[in-house]
Amino acid sequence: MTTKQATMQITGMSCAACAARIERGLGKVEGVAEANVNLALERASVSYDPGKVTEEELEAKIESLGFGVAKQALDLTIGGMSCAACAARIEKGVSKLPGVTVANVNLALETAHVEWGGSETAAEDVIRKITQLGFTAARKKQEREDAGDRHSQEISRQKATFWLSAALSFPLLWSMVGHFSWTSFLWVPAPFMNPWVQLALSSVVQFWIGWQFYTGAYKALRNGGANMDVLVALGTSAAFFYSLYLTVEWASGGGGGHHLPDLYYETSAVLITLILLGKLFEAMAKGRTSEAIKTLMGLAAKTATVIREGTEQQLPIEQVVVGDVIVVKPGEKIPVDAVVLEGHSAVDESMITGESIPVDKLPGQPVTGATINKHGSLRIRAVKVGKETALAQIIRVVEEAQSSKAPIQRVADRISGIFVPVVVALAAATFLVWYFAAARGEFTEALEKAIAVLVIACPCALGLATPTSIMAGSGRAAESGILFKGGEHLELTQGVDTVVLDKTGTVTHGQPELTDVILPPDGGLDTDGLLSVVAAAEKLSEHPMAEAIVKAASERNLALPAAEDFQAIPGYGIRASVEGRSILVGTRRLLGGQGIDFSMAEQEMERLEHDGKTAMLVAADGQYAGIVAVADTIKDSSRRAVERLHKLGLSVIMITGDNKRTAEAIARQAGIKQVLAEVLPEGKAEEIKKLQQSGKKVAMAGDGINDAPALATADIGMAMGTGTDVAIAAADVTLLRGDLNGIADAIYMSRRTMGNIKQNLFWALAYNSIGIPIAAAGFLAPWLAGAAMAMSSVSVVLNALRLQRIKL
């Protein structure tokens, strides 16, 4: 038996029993010869028969035992790719390295993401493998800063190459007018008709400018693959060398004294020029699809005014550390995530959340880096800097989403893998059919048709169809505060038919607010008077309801008298003495126990409770004095967002731990018809499972720690950006704005993006399915076929760019 050794880093072990359990579990797997787990190193070494079990199956076994396998990840910038076959070849080659579980190459972004486990493979091995395959690879972190410059330089290089090729091809194109009777009256300079001049001009285009196609084809074939370069090299070489053969034959027959042959130098040169033009357009368009990342990176402040040693110093943002005190003046960007120490201002957070209304900031409140301080001067303390800031995390999520593959792309990848060999076979068949049947013995005509088939086929359009749309769609979503964590989530979101909304913090603000102050007909206090007395008594309480009352009094600028003899009565309310009066605030039982008659308030109490509010009775010196009501009110945007979800054809369900009457009252206000009330936190995931078992595709939106299991269980979990880190980590989509319109926008954006991908795939497949037969039938000259091929890739990218203009 041939054994192989695998080393895996284990997470989640706490004692020797854990290590023993993993050893026993792995030992039972068929094909495992020996398994040793080192608790101190948290490492497992396994000897196994690769013919019976794979490393991925061993990892799955460890995970099934309740542990994790740590992965190493590497993000690379790839150079030298020309089409989808190149990307597929890199993925195939890297996947063969020991321990590699993920190898995703994004042709549009020219990046690769690789994940692997074990100690047999290092980052250097991955880079070395890609280099051996004939491409260049560099760590993304090293190149991010000058990525824009590199892209500009590449565009400039391609422009120069195209114009040189065009200048050399123009005389050859001009010489074509002599080939047609209807253009024979046009004057052509004699040198342009000279076969030797044509050979000289076309040789430069073919073997200097076009050398990139030969090297690309060689590298592909050397590694057992085939790409677009193979098709271009075959097609143009056939035209060039056939023309060279005719030129030599003409020269051997006496040269100038003989009739000039019909040469095809212009075919190869013009083909290469048009393909270069298409690649130039494609590169320029691809640059625009990543504008979202560039825009986000450009939001970051470059400097910060930091107080060091008692003085204000202007420092580069890289030198700011956690704990630094920073001064932010009106109109300046807030440089890092921080908390306000001094000052009061309104902050424009639209660049992060998409919300256009500035948010008031007071001491103790958090501020986010890259947002703009509008009015007052602020003194803030840095909490998160560098890669830990919200902006850096947003950029990372968007990059990962753009680099990931949607499941629909696998179809295109499979087609691209066999595309080139099939086209070469079709071209050969076209030549044979024309030479032996359609135009018997006409070598030139048969060759023309075969060249047209070779150059019209375009695997690039297939390869670009999905990633360009994913890039444009996820980038546009990010600009509106919607972060998809991967292409697969962007694809799955469009299939959602049921949206489950957590009540607290999602449909509602998540914080109680004072909603009503009701006086008795013969009350001795006015509204402000009653509120100030109640707030004075409640100020000494720590209950959330008390905080809402005190906050409302503060917002009305009411002066609060001193309270004495405060007493909290659990389950009933509070008692206090305010300005010499005995004040009671609480339930019916509290007042009833003191013999206070509040029968005239019963109807109002029932009305308030029916509306989902918490109503509290107030008594002063043994007499009923009024009612104050507090509620967790719905967000202003909730009702409009629910209407949008219904218009999208979605069922909307609200889930909450609140009692049924309160839940139904909130649901009525939001326009939600179905409610799951009195659901314990651990029961939310079970309710999601029940919906899924009934055939529903469920999206769950929540913001709290108790929502995390349900978010993970749902087909798509959506975390409100105002929520906890736990909820955001468990979700597939993060909504930075924190209102329900983000859910409608996310689903709408997913549907539009997937529709765009399907359009691209249809166009790419239809183009090749229709174009190849037309070329084989002889209806397209080779240079027209080349132009069509060049434009097909451009059209796919331009169609994807339409996603950037969607208004959310």
Q: Kindly list the catalytic residues.
A: 502
* Closest listed residue to residue 370, CA positions, set 487, 353, 381: 353
H-only helix segments in 457-583 = 459-479, 487-493, 527-538, 544-555
Based on C-alpha coordinates, what's the Rg of the chain? 35
Instruction: Give the single-character DSSP code of 508.
Output: B
- The total of other beta-carbon atoms located within 10 Å of residue 184's CB is 10
Q: Between the CA of residue 278 and those of 203, 426, 545, 788, what are the distances in Å?
A: 21, 24, 66, 9
In Å, how far from its chain's centre is CA 172?
47
Q: Tell me the C-alpha distance between 406 and 725, whole Å.
A: 25
Q: Tell me the C-alpha distance between 5 and 40, whole Å.
A: 20
Characterise 373 by phi-psi region: left (phi > 0), alpha (psi -120 to 50), beta (else): beta
Strand (E) or helix (H) holding 367: strand 366-367
* Closest listed residue to residue 401, CA positions, set 88, 84, 750: 750
> Sign of torsion, CA 9 14 18 20?
positive
Instruction: Output helix, strand, coil percentages for the chain, rounded to the nearest 5.
Output: 55, 20, 25
Q: Tell me the C-alpha distance between 654 and 533, whole Å.
A: 37
Q: Between the CA of residue 8 and those of 59, 64, 520, 659, what are the distances in Å?
A: 8, 15, 73, 49
Using an 8 Å Cβ cutoff, are 405 and 361 in contact? no
Matching residue, tokens 């913001």? 703
User: In sequence order, what are the beta bridge partners of 136?
Assistant: 79
Report the length, in residues, of the chain. Answer: 808
